[in-house]
A = this chain, B = another copy of it.
Amino acid sequence: MRILVVNPNTTASMTATIEAAARRAAAGTTVIEAVTSSMGPASIEGYYDEALAVPGLLEEIARGEEADADAAIIACFDDTGLDAARAMAGIPVIGICEAALSLAAFIAQRFTVVTTTERSRVPVEGLVARYGMGLRARVRAADIPVLSLEDPASNAAAKLRAEIVRALEDDRAEAIVLGCAGMADLAAELQGEFGVPVVDGVGAAVKQAEALVTLGLTTGKRGAYAFPARKAYTGALAGFAPSKAVA
């Protein structure tokens, strides 16, 4: 089984963090192929970056599907472009937010997502609501720019820990969800340190992708996720005319 993991921002060092987390989670028989988007923002912080990360992301998923990937993962906690990718692709596509929330729901009644910046807090609250966890999960921002997670000299890890403490005390969280792909390498350490389950979305998504492939399940194609309708695309995005389009 080959699982494509797309880092939808253009920062290769973050892809390395993501790839390592994905490999730790993967079954022995699963091949992880991690790629970095070649167009768009260097990090995804809020709605604007999210929207502009989508074309590069879709390009990588289309390329991966052609190269026989069995499933694709969008390794950004905003699950950016997820619906578009599902409509475009024949293979299943998983977002790391939805994957993390799904696993957290199996081990805790109440949990807290700790994400990076205020620009991302409300969008993640929107995902929590969309995925039906509005009564169970809270979202906190640790005031950490995404790329500071790549910088050992920053105080990002300290701020993250401080926010986890607040989640445990004020929210009475029974588990913590790490709200950024760039935090994937911290899950095990934080779990040991705080004595509560700490869920990383990258590993979670790998397992969900394996689950779907093993069970022979892929995106249903008779409604909102039908393959796109055939049509012209223009200008800088002319190359995006949907290749699997139907009449």
Contact = CB atoms under 8 A, between A and B. Distances in A.
Contacts of A14: none
Contacts of A222: 168, 172, 174, 196
Interface string A219-247: 11111111011011111111011100000
Interface residues of A, number: 101
Contacts of A27: 27, 29, 214
B237 A218 contact: no
Given A86-B47, A133-B132, A196 B208 contact: no
Given A102-B102, A103-B215, A232-B41, A46 B224 contact: yes
Interface string A77-98: 0000101101110001010001
A150 interface: no
A186 interface: no
A111 B188 contact: no
Which 5 pairs show the lowest CB-CB distances between chains A and B?
Answer: A132-B132, A39-B235, A207-B211, A174-B220, A51-B84
